[in-house]
């Protein structure tokens, strides 16, 4: 219960700030709208109230986004192309496929880098370099190149999601696989354990806390990748496509609703991994 008060305080402060910012940013626009419609005798509170309920505000008020989310999630059937559930489903599928590929690749690269000494120096710079290219520039290239090989549909988007998610997993897992202390490693040496045995019985279990931490970052990164990919290739739908459509028509409320849906989706994924991590680590008696 102790954490409820600070949490609600921060939330309340955020809402107050948001409404103030919305009024401040939208008021000039609303004043023009009043002027165009010939309305002159409005009070300051009229202006503020109207600026919180515009059709295309610069910054929508929280309740507008909540209404839009309700409309697009609950009031619209999930099969409709206007439903956010429909689009979130598409994004989730791409994210999960991309995340699985990214996680497998990330862990495999980490195992390789830790097992083979010269790979660290020859492979790691490329892994780091791969992330210095802005994904927004790279995404269209990946789509075009894969299209060349008749690979379309969901695959290019999953590849882009994987591209973003493997990196934090590799970095985290390299650190995790190296986390055993020298004594624990010496012990394996006194048994003349093979490096595969050391990997399986020491490095892998020791890396688990790092594994789950990097999985959380990797999952969030995969979702960003999927959304960016959808913006690049929007004809199949998805939350990214909704963001793009919203910005075409100046539908800021729609953009914000899609944005919140993406954030909620990402948050749910991270929370799910968090629960799995807690259960697993507790079972393995890791200090929490």
Partner 1 sequence: MLQTAASATDPSSASRVIDISGLTLTFQTGDGPVNALSGVDLKIGRGEFVSFIGPSGCGKTTLLRAVADLETPTSGTIRVNGMSPQEARQKRAYGYVFQAPALYPWRTVASNIALPLEIMGIDKATRAARVARGLELVNLAGFGNKFPWQLSGGMQQRASIARALSFDPDLLLMDEPFGALDEIVRDMLNQQLLQLWEKTGKTALFVTHSIPEAVFLSTRIVVMSPRPGRIHDVIDCNFPRDRTLDIRETPEFLEVANRVRQGLREGHSYDV
**Among candidate residues 90, 81, 83, 51, the one with its CA nearest the CA of residue 68:** 83
Judged by beta carbon, residue 148 or residue 288, the one nearer partner 1 is: 288
Residue window 7-46: x/- pattern of binding to partner 1, with contact defined by CB under 8 A: ----------------------------------------
Question: Shortest distance, CB of residue 190 to partner 1, whole angstroms?
Answer: 4
Answer whether 52's CB lies under 8 Å from 61's CB. Answer: yes
Rounded Cα distance between 53 and 30, Å, is 10
CA atoms within 13 A on the CB side of 231: 20
What residues contact 115, with CB distance under 8 A and at least 6 apart? 195, 199
Judged by beta carbon, residue 99 or residue 211, the one nearer partner 1 is: 211
Question: Shortest distance, CB of residue 11 to partner 1, whole angstroms?
Answer: 38
Please state the length of the chain: 288
Q: Which of residues 186-245 bind partner 1 (CB under 8 A)?
A: 186-193, 197, 201-202, 205-206, 208
Considering only 8, 147, 184, 195, the residue that binds partner 1 (CB under 8 A) is 184
Answer whether 223's CB lies under 8 Å from 269's CB. Answer: yes
Question: Shortest distance, CB of residue 177 to partner 1, whole angstroms?
Answer: 15
Q: Which of residues 144-183 bind partner 1 (CB under 8 A)?
A: 181, 183
The DSSP code for 188 is: H
Question: Shortest distance, CB of residue 183 to partner 1, whole angstroms?
Answer: 4
* Number of residues in contact with partner 1 under rule CB under 8 A: 21
Structure tokens of 101?
A: 């590929």
Answer whether 62's CB lies under 8 Å from 19's CB. Answer: yes
Judged by beta carbon, residue 46 or residue 186, the one nearer partner 1 is: 186
Q: Does residue 284 interact with partner 1 by CB under 8 A?
A: yes
Question: Shortest distance, CB of residue 91 to partner 1, whole angstroms?
Answer: 36
262, with CB counted inside 10 A (0-12, 13-18, 19+), is buried
Question: Shortest distance, CB of residue 201 to partner 1, whole angstroms?
Answer: 7
List of residues contacting partner 1 (CB under 8 A): 181, 183-184, 186-193, 197, 201-202, 205-206, 208, 284-287
């Amino acid at each position: 219960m102790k954490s409820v008060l600070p949490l609600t305080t921060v939330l309340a402060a955020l809402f107050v700030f948001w409404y103030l910012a919305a009024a401040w940013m939208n008021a000039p626009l609303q004043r023009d709208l009043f002027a165009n419609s010939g309305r002159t005798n409005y009070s300051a509170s009229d202006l503020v109230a109207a600026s919180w309920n515009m059709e295309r505000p610069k910054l929508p008020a929280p309740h507008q986004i909540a209404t839009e989310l309700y409309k697009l999630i609950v009031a619209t059937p999930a099969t409709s192309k206007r439903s956010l559930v429909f689009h979130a489903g598409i994004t989730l599928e791409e994210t999960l496929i991309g995340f699985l590929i990214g996680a497998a690749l990330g862990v495999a690269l980490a195992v390789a880098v830790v097992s083979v000494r010269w790979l660290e120096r020859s492979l790691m710079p490329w892994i780091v370099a791969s992330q210095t290219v802005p994904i927004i520039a790279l995404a269209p290239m990946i789509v075009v190149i894969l299209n060349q090989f008749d690979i379309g549909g969901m695959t290019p988007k999953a590849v882009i999601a994987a591209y973003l998610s493997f990196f934090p997993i590799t970095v985290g897992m390299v650190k995790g696989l190296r986390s055993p202390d020298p004594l624990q490693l010496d012990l394996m040496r006194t048994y003349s354990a093979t490096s595969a045995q050391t990997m399986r019985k020491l490095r892998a279990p020791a890396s688990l806390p790092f594994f789950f931490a990097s999985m959380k970052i990797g999952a969030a990164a995969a979702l960003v990748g999927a959304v960016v990919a959808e913006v690049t290739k929007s004809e199949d739908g998805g939350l990214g496509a909704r963001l793009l459509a919203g910005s075409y028509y100046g539908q800021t409320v729609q953009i914000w609703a899609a944005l919140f849906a993406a954030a909620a989706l990402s948050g749910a994924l991270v929370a799910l991994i968090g629960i799995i991590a807690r259960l697993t680590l507790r079972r393995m008696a890791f200090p929490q």
